[in-house]
Structure 1
Amino acid sequence: MAKTTQQHSAAQTVTPALRQWIIDQAEAGFAPDVVLKSMQASGWSEDVAIEAMETTLSAHLAATQARKHLPAAVAVPEPALADSPLLLDAGDRMVQVLSVMRHPRLVVFGNLLSEQECAELVELARPRLSRSLTVATQTGGEEVHVDRTSDGMFFTRGESPLVQRIEARIARLLHWPEQNGEGLQVLNYQPGAQYKPHYDYFDPAEPGTPTILKRGGQRVATLIMYLSAPSSGGATIFPDVQLEVAPQRGNAVFFSYDRPHPRTQTLHGGAPVLAGEKWIATKWLREHEFK
């Protein structure tokens, strides 16, 4: 008899439908012993029923707890992509839509900047370059970090007619107020320079984050514009979704993150430049007016 019971148990498969039924019974308020008796009455062996209940309810509890601690979603910049357009009107320029992902929310744009605009940004930025800094999440300030080996500088918002024109174009393209953008940052990557994978939002668990958020709330989106392409290397990489975006001059990659959490799948980095040099301009967008 024992052998027959073991064979019967081995033949019973716990399906997704059964797991959902167990969750439904638990959420309806039925006690575990009641659910167990119901399963046995339906032909499930006791050992299989107990294991199915324990594993299903443990996993369901863990998922419920994770959702409770998940930051609330907020509004994010959103290009007008509902009709799958090939081109978007950015006011003074028609911008190509080259590639779109839904999760993460990611768009590769073509022809966002002209060759002349790219060259002008590089020349204006060149004499003002210094070692790039990262946000110091422990204090809310800035610091040199070994993961970031580029040189960079910031234009203040609206600093020049060129910067004003590009910022207005971005605001129209992404449907987000100009005043909610940080100053345009220009970065230069020489051979060997890189930026290891990271998130652009500010980690709520870090002690310096409340200070950072006073200037405009969380970052909710990033736009990386390519000003010059290296001969080799330098792609923008998204490890979570195994995507590489080539640094083609004049193009850009946009991605948004509706909450400061890894589930946005916006982990990204700048792969090492192998030959030549790479120039990019980055625009970070905040929830509120950036001051």
Structure 2
Amino acid sequence: MFIGKKFLEPELCQLLMLQIDSRRRPSTIADANGDYAFRTSETCDLDPEDALAVELKRRIIALTGLDPARAEPMQGQRYDVGQEFKAHTDYFEPTGADYDKYCSVSGQRTWTVMLYLNQVEAGGVTRFKAIDKMVEPEVGKVLAWNNLRANGTPNPSTIHHAMKVRAGTKYVITQWFRERPWGW
């Protein structure tokens, strides 16, 4: 796991939050589990041709050294008071009903890079229970982790919970990477 501060300037974060607000939709999950309160945030699909998205991707690639061809389309997420994404992994469960649907072309998710766009008044922490780590939202902070172990199997220690926002609103950008070039 890697955590870095001041990866993004506050002005860039403000522009990204405006973009998320203008294009948000209810978030979804793969392998629905019947818990309609499992993920209550909203999502914005960033236009890959947009100058802000291009700049974010450039910075993420420069930081990580990951292959840009393996990047999924970037997303923004917005969490209002009471919203959360309960404990989950970013990799696709190999025994899950939708594993083939999501992994047959580009393979499993490898890395997750999360960019925090603002500081939340209360709540909104990202909790990694298995490793006893809590990451507080902070303007411009970057958080990155590998969803796979060195042998290529899913890393269950990456289970994380976007905990409920208790006051304010939380904004993040998420960039996932795959084993093979993105082909959807």
Q: Structure 1 length normalisation: TM-score?
A: 0.59
Partner residue, 1:242: 132
Question: Which residue number in structure 1 is paired with residue 154 of structure 2?
Answer: 261
1:127 aligns with 2:22: yes
Which protein, 1 or 2, shows the higher relative CO under an 8 Å CA cutoff with sep ≥ 6?
Answer: 2
What fraction of aligned residue pairs are identical, expressed as a percent? 26
Question: Which residue of 103, 114, 119 maps to 2:9?
Answer: 114
SS of aligned partner of 2:30: strand
Given residue 182 of structure 2, which amino acid in structure 1 is its aligned partner?
A: F
Question: Post-superposition, which runs of at least 4 consecutive aligned residues in structure 1 deviate over 4 A?
Answer: none
Which letter does structure 1 place at the counterpart of 2:154? H
Which residue does 2:45 correspond to in 1? 154
Distance 1:260 1:275 in 2: 38
Aligned match for 1:288, one of 177, 180, 184: 180
Higher Cα radius of gyration: 1
Q: Residue 158 of structure 2 aligns to a residue in which SS?
A: coil
Asked whether the equivalents of residues 31 and 97 of structure 2 are also in contact (C-alpha less than 8 Å), the reply is no
CA distance in 1, matches of 2:105, 2:166: 37
Residue 107 (structure 2) pairs with residue 214 (structure 1): no
Counterparts of 1:134 and 1:119, CA distance in 2: 27
Name the aligned partner's letter for residue 209 of structure 1.
Y
Structure 2 residue runs of 5 or longer lacking an equivalent are none
- TM-aligned CA deviation for residue 199 of structure 1: 0.7
Match of 1:272 among 164, 169, 175: 164
Q: Does 1:171 align with 2:61?
A: yes
Q: CA RMSD in A?
A: 1.8
Per the normalisation by structure 2, the TM-score is 0.91
- Once the 2 structures are TM-superposed, how far is the Cα of residue 207 of structure 1 from its aligned partner? 3.0
1:146 and 1:216 map into 2 onto residues whose CA distance is: 29
Superposed CA offset, 1:236-263 (max 9, x none): 100001110010010021110224435x
Q: How does 1:21-36 map to 2 (within 5 A)?
A: none
Q: Distance in 2 between matches of 1:212 and 1:150?
A: 21
Match of 1:182 among 62, 72, 78: 72
AA at the equivalent of 1:196: K
Distance 1:261 1:137, change over 3 A: farther
Cα deviation code 1:63-102 (max 9, x no counterpart): xxxxxxxxxxxxxxxxxxxxxxxxxxxxxxxxxxxxxxxx
Contact 1:191 1:276 in 2 (8 A): yes
State how far apart, in whole Å, the 2-side matches of 1:131 and 1:164 are. Answer: 24
Aligned length: 180
**Code of the aligned partner of 2:28:** L
Conserved 8 A contact 1:136-1:208: yes
2:20/2:78 contact within 8 Å kept: no
Distance apart, 1:193 and its partner CA: 0.8
Structure 1 unpaired stretches of 5+:
1-105
Contact (CA 8 Å) 1:202, 1:260: kept in 2 or not?
A: no
> Which letter maps to 2:63?
L
Task: Say whether 1:233 aligns with 2:123.
Answer: yes
